[in-house]
A and B are shown apart, each in its own frame.
Chain A
Amino acid sequence: MTIDGISARTAAAPLAGRRRRSPWTFRVCIAILGVAVAAAVFAPLVAPYEPDATDFSAIWLPPGPGHWLGTDQLGRDILSRVIHGARPSLLGAIALLAFATVLGVLIGVVAAWRRGWVDTVLARITDVMFAFPGLLFVVLVIAVFDRGPATAVIGMGLAFAPLIAKFTRAIALEELARPYVDAYRLQGVGGVQLIARYLLPNLMPTLVGYLVVLFGEGLMSLASLNFLGFGAQPPSSEWGLMVQEGRAGVIQGVLGPALIPGLTIAVVVVATNVVGVRLSDKLAVRT
């Protein structure tokens, strides 16, 4: 998805009707994610070339034995760049979700716990944040901190936080209505302790499924920002940036440099969606 339409789309994502996904697709998707993570961790060991080693005698080569996925406009090996690009791409999405989760869970839990005017004020704030399309946060953060990977992460994180806040508030309200909460209250357990020790661990399973689905969304949003040049800067081989750099080739009929990283993003996003939907089905057994 685009960075622009997240609010509408992710809100509906967990409802996606893929409950009876056969197990083999699930296993294939887990394998894909495993390969992506392994590529990120062992990038220097598995990549056949240095990601930024240029070779002007081998520009825009088609896939072949020397370069399995061909080379780009500077003669850099695309396979090596995609493997190395897994690091900034995946790490960026993880950082984005971590930031958004801390902020969103904090808002959601406090709103559900305090109710009353606190809830109203927080709901109003999240509404205002919803009115801001994702890109706007990024633009605001860029205006203050200038461009860079951190800017993209913080900006997109601010856009994702209200989604997580809304979701957390809903499940926290449900959880707080259960008898064990009153039982702990009667025993004199304080609010902060109750939330940290008992409420949050019980929310975690449901939240994790939702976060895995959001991960794909976050990965795509960050890639879009990098494509626009607001995030990672060259010579980084972040996947969105690679697509941007490969654009010149598309017009001349050389598709590889742009489409290979683009399809890599798509495959990883599909895999996380399948895994996420199944996980939230499995984990979110609430009575």
Chain B
Amino acid sequence: MAALLLRRLGAMVLTLAISSFVIFVAIYAAPGDPVTFLIGNPENITPERIAAVRAEYHLDQPLFVQYALWAQGILHGDLGTSFYYQQPVSDLLSSRLPVTLTLVGMATVLFVVLGVSLGVVSALSRGGRADAWITGGTTFVNSVPNFVVALGLVSVFAVQLRWFPVAGEGAGFAGRLQHLTLPAVALALGSLALISRVTRQTMVEQQTLDHVEAARSYGLGTWAIVTRHVLRNSLGPVVTMCGLTLAGMLAGTTVIESVFGISGVGNLLVESINTHDFAVVQAILLYMVLAYMVVTMLVDLVYPLLDARTLVRSEGS
């Protein structure tokens, strides 16, 4: 287990190093001299001012030195300064992250609960009407772009019924919960098809196995068989899929945040691209890659705990 953990950590650090370099170089290669964005007012552009700004942001150094300085800063928790907001990027991120994380958390609860229960229902009524409706319905919702789903929800629940606000992220716990409900539903709906399909698939595979047949012959009820035997043994693939979906969501709230005007990380990314605020763009991209990798690694580490056989196998080899 420890060796597995070390190997995974090593691979992650390597991937992170490569990605951070790619991110840095892409922004470095962007057209337009950052100095002009930094100085802003064209009247202030004098050769001395340009030189001063270049020295301040280390723009006069070669690429690798700039990357090293940037990476060194990040390792010390210094993500640079936003050109646009004139404040440290870490402050900006820490003010935006809670909203995005709350949104992802709410959406995760929704898609896990709804997705798994839909999958269980359709596995139990396999070939029946409920199965067909669930498969068809989730597949259709999966084919509608999530910004369209979001706008549909807004028009029904915010504009017509006025149950929820149209935009914003709200203040206080209750306000935030109310503001983020519609966005979380819109975010979760897109994942239902996948989660319910995986749950259905693994459960159907389980149901034909001998131990389930044995449990049935003991006279156990359907509920007991499903919860104690079938669902438990299906946890591995389901948890993996939920984890991967969650990992994708951490970097995938941009569209939903933009529809609902939520000032989270995704919206900050779009804003920073529009204002050429490179330090912020770099930091957010790095956060997204890091979040994705951490979650996928956690999923890999949790898997052996759910299915002891994989643990034995990996130690044996």
Interface of A is mostly: helix
User: Is residue B4 within 8 Å, beta carbon to beta carbon, of the partner chain?
Assistant: no
Closest residue of A by beta carbon distance from B141: A266
Would you call A16 an interface residue if the criterion is a C-beta within 8 Å of the partner chain's C-beta atoms? yes
Number of interface residues of B (CB under 8 A): 56
| B289 in contact with A262 (CB, 8 Å) | no
A interface bracket (residues with beta carbon within 8 Å of B): 35 or more
Verify A131–B273 contact, CB threshold 8 A. Answer: no
Least Cβ–Cβ distance between B225 and chain A, in angstroms? 23
Residue of A whose beta carbon sits closest to that of B167? A251
Chain A proximity mask over B284-300: 1 for CB below 8 Å, otherwise 0: 01001100110010000
Not counting A4-B254, A142-B273, a sample of 17 additional A-B residue pairs whose C-beta atoms are within 8 angstroms of each other reads A1-B190, A2-B146, A2-B255, A3-B255, A8-B194, A16-B197, A136-B289, A139-B281, A143-B30, A227-B258, A228-B258, A228-B270, A253-B155, A258-B148, A263-B144, A266-B145, A269-B144
- Cβ-neighbour of B289 out of A132, A230, A269 (below 8 A): A132
> Does B311 lie at the interface of the complex (its beta carbon under 8 Å from any beta carbon of A)?
no
CA distance A270 to B31 in the complex (A): 39
Pull 7 A–B residue pairs with CB atoms less than 8 Å apart, ordered by A: A1-B143, A7-B244, A7-B248, A8-B248, A142-B273, A243-B145, A263-B144
Cβ of A105 within 8 Å of any chain B Cβ, yes or no, is no
Residues in A whose Cβ lies below 8 Å from that of B146: 1-2, 224
A144 within 8 A of B: yes
- Does A50 have its Cβ within 8 Å of any Cβ on chain B? no
Residues of chain A from 197 to 253 with CB closer than 8 A to chain B in the complex: 216, 220, 223-224, 227-230, 240, 243, 247, 250-253
- Cβ-defined partner of B245 (8 Å) among A8, A141, A223, A255: A8
| In the complex with contacts A140-B26, A243-B147, A250-B159, A12-B197 CB distance below 8 A | yes
User: Known contacts being A8-B245, A136-B289, A224-B145, is A17 close to B18, with CB within 8 Å?
Assistant: no
**Complex alpha-carbon distance, A132 and B15, angstroms:** 10
Q: Produce 1/0 per residue, A87-105, CB < 8 A to B.
A: 0000000000000000000
State A148–B276 Cα separation when bound (angstroms).
Answer: 16
CB of A63 closer than 8 Å to a CB of B: no
Q: Measured between alpha carbons, how far is A58 from B270 in the docked complex, in Å?
A: 33
Contact of A273 among B139, B148, B296 (CB under 8 A): B139
Could you give, for residues 244-280 of chain B, a 1 whenever the CB lies within 8 Å of some chain A CB and a 0 otherwise?
1100110111110011000000000110010000100
